[in-house]
A and B are shown apart, each in its own frame.
Chain A
Amino acid sequence: MGSHNEKSHLPPPLDLSRWSRLPAVLMIAGGVAALVGAGVSPKEFGLSWLLSFLFYLSLALGALFLVMVHHLTDAGWSVGIRRFCEHLASLLFPWLALLFVPVLLLAPQIYHWLTLPPTDELIRARWPVFTRAGFAVVSGLFFAVWWLLSSRLRYWSLRQDVTGDALCTHRMRFHSGWGIVAYAATLTGASVLWMQSVQYQFFSAIYGVYFFSGCAWIALATVYVIAVLLQRQRILAGLLKENYFYFIGVLFFAFTIFSAYNEFAQYFVVWNANMPEETFWYLIRENRSWWCLSLILIFGKFFLPFFVMLPVKVKTSLKVMVPVCLWAWLMQFADLAYNVLPAMPQYHFPLASLWIPFACLAFMGGFLSWVFLRQFRSHPPYPQKDPRLLEAMGISLPEEENPPATAPIHGGRS
């Protein structure tokens, strides 16, 4: 493949061998710091762990969405990025499920509603989900669906590498078909049960869509960075052309707007109706240091990436886009923190204990990147026999090989 599409203008190959120990370093340093955090303040540790877990969950769920959309739309251009998206999605089970175990164990520390008596009006109304057993069972159900979906999609994808059979494509489309419905239901459920319920009195119908847009947004940022690294390492140099980066950039840009749209819709409707059962959520976040985080999110998560990515040419400028993608990681983390951390006992942004969430983030990041790299190395880097591979490489079939016309020739004067 490389011989046909080698780009002469590429910079020298990137050598990442000296970074190979980074996952282990992150795991050890982050793990030790997180343990210290757990000893110092179990409640803050619980929320920090949840926050970091949600960050990586959003990344994996976003990648799963990209894989399914690829199959459902019969896309050609995204063949090159599909394999590592499948690896990212397969982090959902068992790896992220394992990382969820501390959330399950620390649930009474994280979710105040678990400590309330069953006679509480809201708890009674939300029975049986808002019970310890209900929480565990429903969480298990979410992971079961994600496991089934991500494993089936990866299984048929890897099988196609061997057989090249069209059946594999049909199976992947089938799983994406039912999967997208199950995905919407489970993602929404997870966002409500795991994230929104840290302040259990709050409710918002758009919350699931809001979480989803963040998932797709952060996944696209990650995909962009990984694609750049793979291109620079010459692993996918023949496959990832400039238009790849343009398409990922356009999608990233679109989700920047869509994400802001959802957040604004929620805020505006709550603000305008001014009902106390909803406004309390924003009142907390408009006070003290949370106000600063609100402004950082407005400008950092929307205006900055929006204006930077607005020009068409920027989307293929790696020097601009890679920093924007890295910035997006920070903003996604900040956005999730904006949702989760106000449940902490102190009513201001926990600047002094901010090292705890970052320690959890480093530990999980190290662990998950180690798993991802192991999976990536043990399989071909792109779908070897995908029927759209030629199209992704920019080679189109000559017209005479296209199927014969089915419609009769009508009309025309000639």
Chain B
Amino acid sequence: MAESTVIPEDLKPLAPPAELRRAPVVENNRRLGALTDQLSQFAEGKIPRWWWILFIPAAFCATVLLPVALVYQVSAGVGVWGNNHPVMWGLDIVSFIWWVGVAHAGTLISALLFLTRQHWRTTIGRAAEAMTVFSVMMAGLYPAIHVGRAWFDWFMFPIPNSNGLWPQFRSPLMWDVFAVNTYLVVSMLFWFMGMIPDLAVLRDRATTRPRKFILSLAAMGWTGSARHWHHYEKAYVVLCGLCTLLVFTVSSIVGLDFCTSQLAGWHATIFPLYFVIGAVFCGFGMILVILIPLRKWLRLENVITLSHMDKVAKLALVSGLIIAYIYSMEFFIAWYSNDPYERWVFGHRLFGHTYWFLGWILIGVNVGVTQLLWFKKIRANMKALFVIGLLINLGMFTERFVIVVGSLYQDFLPANWGVYLPTRWDVALYAGSLGAFFMLYLLFIKFLPFIAISEVKGATPQGNPHHPLGGAKGGRS
């Protein structure tokens, strides 16, 4: 709806009542220059105390805990993990799927909302894309080390070699390798390309020579000419299309890791879609967890507005409802198929022994707690949203644990049954990856433009030259 005209007199009665008017993308109606100042301020100013408080423990986990856990695991072997017969997949694959999930909402928010022309995505898109990039890195760690002999990882790539070894492309593990790597490359490109105009803004505002030099290299000679914008926008649309497809394919492939088997609890035709939606749901939870404190600490309440948080919460609710639908379908099909193994597995998810309480946690959190988001008061309460975001992440981690361990620990032969418990090395690896993720994220918000400055400005009335307030005609400084 690009046309912006003053309402003709005869149509004035059709103007929406105040309660139904659209909220502006950026509040306070500020001039473009003031907006640039506000959005560049954190990357240019001094480092606040809260940043150090968060950064030091995250950096400890990333630079001490993670390397120690990795070195010990690689040198001693995967036996240091809790994986043992019959549960041969444990926290490694659970963490992998969880990180892939966190990775997906970022791209989905940014790319899909761009394709559907949602202007509000401009304020949160960059934060979400960065979340994608760092969490895919963490996800990629697990397939690389879970093979046991990490120094043979190159066997997974189709590299001609004297041993005549060639990847087994019928193995879902190989699909993971290619899917995750493709996703990492495309999402990094998407993230970096979107930042170029803003890096140029920071370059032009840089006050020291080293900073100007580094930002000049990163901005790749961006001048903001019409030609540059033309190419940029064309490439951006193409990347958005690619990223949206990749969100679906990568998560589907992770789902196929399980459902191509014949194991009860894993083999379901809905699994590819299940993992896509699960990933998106988990990612929305993480977006809430990241954005709610940051909008306050970075004093961006007028840019990442309550209206935007409301929309993110609604999207979390939608994905949560689809997850609830998929849970229902799993139980329904277990009943409908009359397969005794399926009925056994799904019956024991809630009423079995050892892990039954996890089944209730995942239903209670992913289905129950999410329903709170139907209420506008909850969606407007940032503390409540933050807690719900945390719970969604906990619930989705539990869900993956239930899928993996819950289907494995009771084999077809009762004599094979066993119990899985993660060891300290499992936990250390996961904690290390969490630390690495947050360390990278904190570095990102400090040194790079956390909000897409040029996109936000383009979504304001001042950024639209045809608008009555367009250009330099309106806004407060």
Please give me the residue from chain A that is nearest to B461 by CB atom: A399
- Would you call A411 and B3 a contact (CB within 8 A)? no
B22 and A407 within 8 A (CB): no
Contact partner, B3, options A207, A389, A395, A407, Cβ 8 Å: A395
Is A126 a contact partner of B338 (Cβ separation < 8 A)? yes
Looking at the assembled complex, report how far the CB atom of B391 sits from the nearest CB atom of chain A, in whole angstroms: 21
Contact B11 A403 (CB under 8 A): no
Contact B267 A273 (CB under 8 A): yes
Residue B23 lies at the interface, judged by CB distance under 8 Å to chain A: yes
Contacts A269-B260, A273-B267; A385 near B14 (Cβ below 8 A): yes
Q: Does B269 lie within 8 Å of A395, measured CB to CB?
A: no
Q: List 28 A-B contacts (CB under 8 A).
A: A77-B1, A166-B16, A166-B20, A169-B20, A177-B374, A204-B333, A205-B268, A208-B329, A273-B259, A273-B267, A387-B14, A388-B16, A388-B20, A391-B1, A393-B11, A395-B7, A397-B7, A397-B22, A398-B6, A399-B467, A399-B468, A402-B22, A407-B28, A409-B302, A410-B300, A412-B477, A414-B34, A414-B37
List CB contacts (< 8 Å) of B13-50 with chain A. Answer: 13-24, 27-31, 33-35, 37-38, 41
Contact A270 B269 (CB under 8 A): yes
Residue of B nearest to A274 (CB): B262
Residues in B neighbouring A265, C-beta threshold 8 A: 252, 269-270, 272-273
B416 at the interface (CB under 8 A from A): no
Q: Any chain A CB within 8 A of the CB of B225?
A: no
- Nearest A residue to B24, CB-CB: A402
Q: B336 to A192, Cβ gap below 8 A?
A: yes
A95 touches B (CB below 8 Å): no
Interface 1/0 per residue, A187-224 and B, CB below 8 Å: 01000100000000001111111000000000000000
CB distance from B249 to the nearest CB of A (A): 9
Residues of chain B within 8 A (CB-CB) of A209 are 270, 273
Q: Knowing A205-B329, A395-B7, A399-B461 are in contact, say whether A387-B299 is a contact too (CB < 8 A).
A: no
Is the pair A269, B269 in contact by a Cβ cutoff of 8 Å? Answer: yes
Q: Who on chain B is nearest to A388 by CB?
A: B16
Residues from 289 to 338 in A contacting B, C-beta threshold 8 Å: none
Contact present for A184 and B14 (CB under 8 Å): no
Task: Specify which chain A residues have a CB less than 8 angstroms from the CB of B31 in the assembled complex.
Answer: 414
What residues make up the interface of B, taking CB atoms closer than 8 Å to A?
A: 1-8, 11, 13-24, 27-31, 33-35, 37-38, 41, 115, 248, 252, 256, 259-262, 267-273, 298-302, 305-306, 321, 325-326, 328-330, 332-333, 335-339, 374, 461, 467-469, 474, 476-477
Once the chains are docked, how many angstroms separate the CA of A122 from the CA of B337? 8
Contact with B along A254-284 (1 / 0, CB 8 A): 0000000110011011101111010000000
Pick from B13, B21, B256: contact of A397, CB below 8 A.
B21
Known contacts A269-B256, A399-B467; is A205 also within 8 Å of B1 by CB? Answer: no
Chain A interface residue bracket vs B: 35 or more
Q: Is the CB of B321 within 8 A of A408?
A: no
Question: 6 closest pairs, A vs B, by CB?
Answer: A387-B16, A410-B299, A205-B270, A125-B338, A394-B3, A405-B27
Closest to A392 in B: B1
Report A-chain residues with C-beta under 8 Å of the C-beta of B5: 394-396
A208 to B336 alpha-carbon distance, docked (Å): 14
Q: How far is the CB of A382 from chain B (nearest CB, A)?
A: 12
CB distance from B75 to the nearest CB of A (A): 36
Report whether B259 and A389 are in contact in the complex, using a CB–CB cutoff of 8 Å.
no
* Chain B residue with Cβ nearest A196: B336
**Across the interface, which residues of B come within 8 angstroms of A204, CB to CB?**
269, 333
Question: Once the chains bind, are B1 and A262 in contact (CB under 8 Å)?
Answer: no
A76 within 8 A of B: yes
Chain A residues contacting B335 (CB-CB under 8 Å) are 125-126
Contact A205–B302 (Cβ < 8 Å): no
A394-B335 Cα distance, complex, nearest whole Å: 51
Q: Decide: A410 and B329 in contact? CB cutoff 8 A.
A: no
B28 to chain A: closest residue by CB: A405
Q: When chains A and B are docked, how far (Å) is the Cα of A373 from the Cα of B317?
A: 37
Residues B329 and A413 in contact, CB atoms below 8 Å apart: no
Instruction: Tell me the minimal C-beta distance from A191 to chain B in angstroms.
Output: 11
User: Assuming A185-B328, A402-B22, what are 14 further A-B pairs, CB within 8 angstroms?
Assistant: A4-B11, A126-B336, A188-B329, A265-B252, A269-B268, A388-B20, A391-B22, A398-B6, A407-B301, A409-B30, A409-B302, A411-B38, A411-B300, A414-B34
